[in-house]
Copies of this chain bind each other. A is one copy, B any other.
Amino acid sequence: MFAPKSVAVIGASNRKGSVGRAVFTNILLNEYTGTVYPVNPKDRSISGVRSYPSVQDLPESVDMAVVVVPAAVVPSVTEECGKKGVKSLIIISAGFKEVGQDGAALEHQVSSLAQKYSLRMVCPNCLGTINTDPEVRLNASFASQMPVEGSIAFASQSGALGEAVIDYAAGEGIGFSKFISVGNKADVNENDILEYLRADPKTKVILLYVEDIVDGRKFVDTVTRVTEEKPIIAVKAGVSPEGAKAASSHTGALAGSDEAYNAILKQSGVLRVESIIDLFDYARAFAKQPPPRETE
């Protein structure tokens, strides 16, 4: 999912200021080493590149599709991707679980289709993913800039915060190995990401911004295993009751009590910090050091 050989951007657009334009040009203009196809039912070309009316019209199947179409169309697009043999989806579109019952039903529909076709999915309602590895160079997000290469991976449940972090890191000259905004976690969740990052040779330190945790028991297991190899530093949202409410409205998830999370994080060896600035201060220190172990 971080290193596809070909990507389709479904909902790519020529309209200035649109997310469909931002995502397509982010892939196109940042020296992606694979092939990117715009999919748009109206325009003949997007940013100078031949466009295709639908996924089915593409001249080959693609490893990944980034979906930037209205929520109501996402199920039919998911089905088309499944039929075409696409392996993974990043659904950037919002309008799912986070907007209420109708959205949740739509999200469930998309999840069922993904299962039917064995599609892995990031999101919906996310900023996308970024891989700075020179062998890939994929910015499949609508972030306003491509981070420089580095050894820090950042996984954020909030797209808006993710973008702020990319901007902050750029100003500070901090590089990333991977960036991922997980959105509503309809399929891929923090545990999948942590397992991936554990094995990623480009990542030395893992930063998390979490609003809720899907499966607390599995999270503790996963994190305990990962922190034996790489440090994890986390900012947990929702420390105040207002924050918890904000976190809930972002992604439709319920934030647990702060005390419970604190216990989980501490138990599993995660360093919890209070702010994004702290997150990077620690990350920079750890990026230069071997992983912290109590036995050392």
Contacts from A to B (Cβ < 8 Å):
6, 27-29, 31-37, 44-45, 47-50, 59
Contact = CB atoms under 8 A, between A and B. Distances in A.
Contacts of A28: 28, 47-49
Nearest to A48: B32
Contacts of A49: 28, 35-36, 49
Contacts of A34: 45, 48
11 contacts: A28-B28, A32-B48, A33-B48, A34-B48, A35-B44, A35-B48, A35-B49, A36-B48, A37-B50, A50-B59, A59-B59
A22 to B, nearest CB: 14
Contacts of A32: 48
Contacts of A47: 28, 31
Contacts of A45: 6, 33-35
A44 B36 CA distance: 11
Contacts of A44: 35
Given A6-B45, A36-B48, 19 more contacts: A27-B48, A28-B47, A28-B48, A28-B49, A29-B29, A31-B47, A31-B48, A32-B48, A33-B48, A34-B45, A35-B44, A35-B45, A35-B48, A35-B49, A36-B49, A37-B50, A49-B49, A50-B59, A59-B59
